[in-house]
Amino acid sequence: MPATDYALYTGCIIPLRYPDIENSIRETMPLLGANVFDIVGAGCCPPGGAFWSVDEISGLVQSARNLSIAELMNKDLMAVCNGCFCYLKNSNLLLKDNQEKREKVNTILNQIGRKYHGTISVYHLVEILHDKIGVEKIKESTKIKLDGAKAAVHYGCHLLRPSDHLMAENPEKPHKLDALVEALGMESVYYPKKLSCCGAGGGMRGNNPNATLKILEKKLMNIKYSEPDCIVTCCPFCFLQFDLGQKGLRDKGEDFCIPVFYYNQLLGLSMGLPKKRIASISETPRDGFIKKFYGVD
Amino acid sequence: MKIVLNETNEELVNKVIQYGGENIYKCFQCGMCASGCPVAGDTDHKIKRTMHQVLLGLDEQILDKKAIWLCTTCFMCLERCPQNAGPTEVIFALRRISAEKGIIPDAQIEVANNIYHLGHAVTVEKGIKLRDKVGAPTLNTAGSDKKYIDEIQKIINTTKSFKLLKIKKDWKPKGDEVIACD
């Protein structure tokens, strides 16, 4: 496969709370033929919970600014967070489609010397890994196979829904992240209500810390049912919810301590990349899993 | 006999339609939305009830209780609604109406102020330390340079959100915790 270039949109959580995930993406993707280039000056996507929740144009114009920088790079945008993917893709489609909104947004962007043209597409990392690179290439590129490891795959909401806009997956029976996990040699196990929300989004984590943990606890009870060795996700906010949320539940005396990985962290470890750079920040311990399946301290 | 449910009935539903919930009238109260809702069991946010309350014009019951801000925006209700009534879109519309009345939770205000002042939904300094720790490249996103933050401030200044999200010119982040992002 010839190498393809992408404009890497890192968002907020990955570069500023889990930069080890960012390293894992930066270091694994080029090894699979997907070169990534920075969108210098990119701001927040922005989130549905705040700007979109009060005024559509306020959300659109910030998304359009981010898209306009990637357009100058003449590369399709690679989103590595479900929230960023959902709102950037939605904005891109809306602005390509609706001349009135495009003109309104460009009038505002003109004040800072930028312009949205509608010349690029927005992809989620999972789409690029599964649809463009393919599981066979991933199998060939990994040295260490995770035979015998069981993973509970969590897709997260904003990769799947609203499916008529995002078109990344079958919203009721997604398979891409499962296939990517299985390409590493792991078994993706069934658990009830797999497609349900982790409980973090929309402002919930900040507005109601007790409810956010209750929703997470239900999700984790379902995950525990399948006795997985780890949870694998492709969204940093879900990752944060599982990582810090399990700590929150442990602080309340609950017994939840399932290691959590962003997909590319496992991919990188399977390629032999060093743990310190790509999988070293977490409140819920992962060293036991890494030692057991990769033999690395 | 003619039953008048509430005089404000049409005012609320018309506003919801104007603010993005244009398919609200398709709702026939089947309850599919609530059946997949992750928060219905643990919070006061009851999406099926809210859809009905909008149609009945019960704006005070909806807006004063603030339960609409507990939606995680997971879009499950929108995805599964057999009528395509767009329950999540109705929630967004109600949030927009609520914000115009000045009713908006602290988490939304904090995230908006973070984005306005730092370029990101979360604080930046802690992030730079973590990046050093794992050997990540020097930050070059909006939070790395005042010139990018100025751009973001300029565009937010021209929109309604500056006032609606109660953005302050003199503002300090409350802490490093991540409270909302998507």
The reply to whether residue A47 touches residue B181, judged by beta carbons under 8 angstroms, is yes
Same domain as B60, residue B114: no
Q: Which residues of chain B does A195 touch, with a Cβ-Cβ cutoff of 8 Å?
A: 76
How far is CA A200 from its chain centroid? 14
- What is the average pLDDT score of chain B? 93
pLDDT digits (tens, 9 = 90+) for B81-140: 999 999 999 999 999 999 999 999 999 999 999 999 999 999 999 999 999 999 999 999
Band of residue A238 on the pLDDT scale cut at 50, 70, 90:
very high
Strand partners, A4: A34
- The whole-angstrom separation of Cα A295 and Cα A288 is 10
Q: Which residues of chain A does B182 touch, with a Cβ-Cβ cutoff of 8 Å?
A: 45, 47-49, 81-84, 86-87, 158, 200-202, 235, 237
Q: How many domains does chain B have?
A: 2
The reply to whether residue A12 touches residue B71, judged by beta carbons under 8 angstroms, is no
Same domain as B134, residue B114: yes
Domain that includes residue B64, residue range: 9-100
Same domain as B50, residue B111: no
pLDDT digits (tens, 9 = 90+) for A60-115: 999 999 999 999 999 999 999 999 999 999 999 999 999 999 999 999 999 999 99
Decide if the complex's ipTM is over 0.90. Answer: yes
Same domain as B82, residue B18: yes
Q: What is the DSSP letter of A162?
A: S
Out of B134, B147, B178, whose CB is closest to A280?
B134
Same domain as B90, residue B21: yes
The reply to whether residue B130 touches residue A10, judged by beta carbons under 8 angstroms, is no
Left (φ > 0), alpha (ψ -120 to 50) or beta: where does B139 sit?
beta
Q: Which residues of chain A does B127 touch, with a Cβ-Cβ cutoff of 8 Å?
A: 15-17, 19
The reply to whether residue B76 touches residue A12, judged by beta carbons under 8 angstroms, is no
Sheet with A150-154, strands from edge to edge, namely A187-188, A150-154, A230-233, A260-262
Interface size between A and B, measured as CB pairs under 8 A:
267
- The whole-angstrom separation of Cα A12 and Cα B143 is 9
Work out the minimum CA distance from A183 to partner chain B, whole angstroms.
27
Contact A81, B182 (CB under 8 A): yes
* Helices of type H across chain A: 13-17, 19-28, 53-54, 56-73, 82-97, 99-110, 125-127, 135-141, 157-160, 163-166, 176-182, 204-207, 209-224, 236-251, 263-270, 275-278, 287-294
Same domain as B93, residue B35: yes
Q: Is the pLDDT of residue A150 over 60?
A: yes
Task: Cite the beta strand spans of B46-177 per DSSP E.
Answer: none
Q: Which residues of chain A does B159 touch, with a Cβ-Cβ cutoff of 8 Å?
A: 55, 57-58, 61, 108
3-class SS at A231? strand
Domains annotated on chain A, with CATH: 4-124 (1.20.1050.140), 135-294 (3.40.50.11810)
pLDDT digits (tens, 9 = 90+) for B10-66: 899 999 999 999 999 999 999 999 999 999 998 999 999 999 999 999 998 898 888
- The whole-angstrom separation of Cα A35 and Cα A181 is 21
| Chain A: residue whose CA lies nearest to B177 | A206
Per-residue pLDDT at A225 = 93
Same domain as B111, residue B75: no
Residue B158 lies in a domain: yes
Give how far Cα A6 sits from Cα of A26, A125, A176, Å. Answer: 11, 10, 20
